[in-house]
Amino acid sequence: MADMELVLPEKKNPSLTPMDWVLFLISAVLGLVTLVGSLEMPKADIWVVTAIVSGLVGYCAKTYFTFQANMVTYQNLITKSMYDKQLDSGKGTLLHLCDDVIQQEVKEVIVSYYILMEQGKATIQDLDSRCEQLIKEEFGVECNFDVVDAVKKLEKLGIVSRDSIGRIICVPLKRANEIIGTTTEEMVMRAQQAPAGS
């Protein structure tokens, strides 16, 4: 529980809502008024009094046990959340974060190259707006695309260049594939397909 504030800073212990209290109190008052009213009658029927008391006690018990069930569900949710957060801590979390960053950068490079391949030469500003437009059209999300970083990576790979006025030009896809060469994944696939004896 000492780590609870660090892991779940917004955690609050559940309690009866004001509406639950209002319903509970109204039911109790109505039950007591009915009970007192039936006891003041000249011939108070013991079965009516028993039914009223039973109904009142039953409703109070139902409210209490519903609240307890909600508390158990909430505690299980917190326990599961803390357990899940503790499972992947330390190196696992760091590796997962690094993997996400690498995937994001690869996606930026791919989108930038795709736009250049499909729409031709572009300035940095045009390429930036075209990439953002593509993402908005395809996924319905507005973003600030980091095209400068993607272009630097494409230039480093040697699959884009700039013309005399600074527009970015990409090489054809087949040539880009030749320039990039064999990927690690392709090497692994070839090794797995090779016969064990060779």
Q: What is the pLDDT of residues 139-166, one digit of tens each?
A: 888 888 889 999 999 999 889 999 999 8
Q: In this structure, what token pair is assigned to residue 155?
A: 């230039």
Per-residue confidence (pLDDT) for residue 152, from 0 to 100 = 92
Per-residue confidence (pLDDT) for residue 42, from 0 to 100 = 67
Per-residue confidence (pLDDT) for residue 2, from 0 to 100 = 46
pLDDT band at 169 (very low <50, low <70, confident <90, very high): very high
Are 118 and 166 part of one and the same domain? yes
Find the CATH number of the domain harbouring 166: 1.10.10
Are 148 and 178 part of one and the same domain? yes
- Which carries the bigger pLDDT value, residue 190 or residue 129? 129
What pTM, to 2 d.p., does this model score?
Answer: 0.49
Per-residue confidence (pLDDT) for residue 112, from 0 to 100 = 93
Considering the domain boundaries, does residue 85 fall inside one? yes
Considering the domain boundaries, does residue 6 fall inside one? no
| Residue 118 pLDDT greater than 90, yes or no | yes
Q: Please state, rounded to an integer, the average pLDDT across all residues of the chain.
A: 80
Provide Rg for the chain, Cα atoms. Answer: 34
| Residue 32 pLDDT greater than 50, yes or no | yes
**What whole-number percentage of the chain has pLDDT above 90?**
23
Are 141 and 188 part of one and the same domain? yes
**Rounded distance between C-alpha atoms, residue 4 and residue 8, angstroms:** 6
Per-residue confidence (pLDDT) for residue 89, from 0 to 100 = 61
Find out whether 7 and 85 touch, Cβ atoms under 8 Å. Answer: yes
Are 51 and 63 part of one and the same domain? yes
How many domains in the chain?
Answer: 2
Sign of the torsion formed by the C-alpha atoms of 44, 47, 53 and 59: negative
Are 136 and 177 part of one and the same domain? yes
Per-residue confidence (pLDDT) for residue 1, from 0 to 100 = 44
Range of the domain at 140: 98-193
Instruction: Residue 147: count other Cβ atoms within 10 Å of its Cβ.
Output: 24
CA 196 to chain centre: 44
When pLDDT is averaged across residues 59-69 and rounded to a whole number, the result is 82
Are 51 and 135 part of one and the same domain? no
